[in-house]
Structure 1
């Protein structure tokens, strides 16, 4: 019995990333990926049960590189003006999720979601974890009295939906091209303004 290693898994994900980028989700095959990795399909399936699972692993590996620093910075925020913190966070997140690479991957996940469990795998391994990070930050702001008391997970959903509404959704539908930095900044400003309009504490803490 062959022993699975993290290095081998990472190598498979790296090769698969190149294949998916070249051929797209539909055009890529486990046969092609196995050939480029230099192993058998059996080895490949030993690490990933399906092409969908491997595709999601590729997305998550890329997302981790981009999002980990953003969420780490958010967790370390002190008592700076909350609107400014959320503005900075929103701009950074949107710069990633509105990139053409991420939009294309998102479209592929949506297209396959009705035929497999790719949607669940994608959500649980990525967006769900991101929402938990945002909810944790918002809960801390509620304890400090900077936001009104509410369910932090629901608040996180509302914040991310507001950020997505003018940016990600139109991009997914192809009704707008790549957004400029200024457009992302303004869309973020409006989203944060609406969010704080609903969640800011009526009594702000002194200092």
Structure 2
């Protein structure tokens, strides 16, 4: 019986990430991934039950790598709320607007009508990120920097505003590449709308501390 190791698992994820990026979900094969790793398909299936399982784990692993640092930075920037959210928005979109992330999201959407891959991706990725952002916003509500509301709904509102001028046009191929200046201005417009809608009574609290 083969012993599964973390190093082998990481090697599989790395190889799978490259193959999915090059060929997309539909075009990628477990045989090609196994060849990149230097093993057999049986070895892959010993770690991941299906191509869908492997694809979702690749997405979650990449998101964890980026967003643990993004949320840590958000906590460190929290004294000045508008500045903290501006930096959070720019850092988040720098990841989500990458070509690899856009391709992955397109693949997930395409497969969602045929399997539960969309649900699994959402539960282990975006839902967790929204919960983390919601916890941050709840703390800002307690400090009086935002009006009291459902923090998860507020997090959904913020992410939707950030998506509207950036991720959405990237997904549809309307924008091939977004400059840092464009993203910065788009985040600013999103935050202007978000903070106006979530300003505490009296208008204080959105100017930092």
Note the C-alpha offset of 1:100: 1.3
CA-CA distance at 1:76 after TM superposition: 2.7
Please state how far the C-alpha of 1:30 moved relative to its aligned partner: 0.9
- CA distance, structure 1, for counterparts of residue 191 and residue 125 of structure 2: 22
**d(CA) in 2 for partners of 1:161, 1:136:** 17
User: For 1:85 and 1:163, how far apart are their aligned partners in 2?
Assistant: 14
Deviates more, 1:27-36 or 1:108-117: 27-36
When normalised by structure 1's length, the TM-score is 0.93
Find the aligned partners of 1:5 and 1:195 in 2 and give their Cα distance. Answer: 45
Partner Cα distance (1:36, 1:84) in 2 = 43
Report the equivalent of 2:63.
Answer: 63
Other-structure match for 2:7: 7
Aligned residues between the structures:
206
The aligned residue for residue 168 of structure 1 is: 167
Deviations 1:1-56 (A, max 9, x none): 33322211111101111222222222111122122222222221121111111112
CA distance in 1, matches of 2:38, 2:79: 52
Q: Deviations over 1:113-153 (max 9, x none)?
A: 11111111211221111111110100000000111111110
Residue equivalent to 2:52: 52
**2:22 counterpart residue number:** 22
Following the alignment from structure 2 to structure 1, what is the Cα–Cα distance between the partners of residues 168 and 40? Answer: 39
In 2, distance between residues paired with 1:13 and 1:33?
9
The 1-side partners of 2:10 and 2:66 are apart by 17
Tell me how far apart the structure 1 counterparts of residues 148 and 172 of structure 2 sit (CA, whole Å). Answer: 35
Q: What are the equivalent positions in structure 2 for 1:62-81 lying under 5 Å apart?
A: 62-80=62-80
Runs of 4+ in 1 over 4 A off after TM superposition: none
Are 2:114 and 1:115 aligned?
yes
TM-score, scaled to structure 2: 0.92
Give 2:177's aligned residue. 178
1:127 pairs with 2:146: no
Deviations 1:81-128 (A, max 9, x none): x11111111111111111111111111111111111111121122111
Partner of residue 85, structure 1: 84
1:134 alignment partner, SS class: helix
Cα RMSD after superposing both structures: 1.6
